[in-house]
C-alpha cells in the first residue's frame, strides 16, 4: 500500500470513528446490543448506559483527533515507508484502544 493511501485510509477511519461517536457523546443512542459501551451494568440500567456512552463517545472523538494529528505530523517526517506505515496504524489503534479501556473503566465506576 502506498504511503499516501495509508495516510488517507487511517485519517478516513479516524473521521468515521469520530462521526460514529458523536451520537454516543450526545446521549442519543438507546441501550442496544450492537453499538456503544456494552457491559452487564450498562445493559441493565439506562442511567449507566447513557453516562458510560457519553464518556466513551467523548473519548473516541478525542482519540480520533489524536490519530489525525499524529498521522499528519508523521506524514511530514522523512521516515522510511517500512516505519511510517506501522506508525500510522499504531496512531489509529493505540488511541482507540485507550478510549475503549477508559470507557469500560468509567462504566465500572458508575454507581447505580
Nearest 5°: CA angle at 53, between 50 and 58?
125
Residues in the chain, pLDDT under 70? 1-3, 112
DSSP H or E run through 6? helix 3-25
Place of cell 469500560: 104
Q: Provide the sign of the torsion angle of the four alpha carbons 84, 86, 92, 98, taken in this order.
A: negative
Q: What is the pLDDT of residue 23?
A: 98
Break the chain into its structural domains and give their ranges.
3-109
Tens digits of per-residue pLDDT, 46-67? Answer: 999 999 999 999 999 999 999 9
Cβ-in-10-Å burial (0-12, 13-18, 19+) of 14 comes to buried
What is the C-alpha separation between 55 and 45, in angstroms, rounded?
Answer: 16
Q: What is the pTM of this model?
A: 0.92
Q: How far apart are the first and last CA of the chain?
A: 48
Amino acid at each position: 500500500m502506498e504511503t499516501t493511501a495509508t495516510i488517507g485510509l487511517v485519517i478516513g477511519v479516524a473521521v468515521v470513528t469520530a462521526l460514529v461517536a458523536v451520537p454516543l457523546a450526545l446521549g442519543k443512542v438507546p441501550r442496544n446490543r450492537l453499538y456503544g459501551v456494552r457491559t452487564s451494568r450498562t445493559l441493565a440500567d439506562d442511567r449507566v448506559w447513557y453516562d458510560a456512552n457519553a464518556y466513551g463517545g467523548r473519548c473516541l472523538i478525542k482519540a480520533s483527533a489524536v490519530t489525525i494529528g499524529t498521522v499528519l505530523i508523521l506524514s511530514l517526517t522523512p521516515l522510511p515507508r517500512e516505519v511510517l506505515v506501522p506508525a500510522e496504524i499504531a496512531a489509529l489503534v493505540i488511541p482507540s484502544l485507550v478510549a475503549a479501556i477508559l470507557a469500560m473503566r468509567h462504566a465500572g465506576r458508575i454507581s447505580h
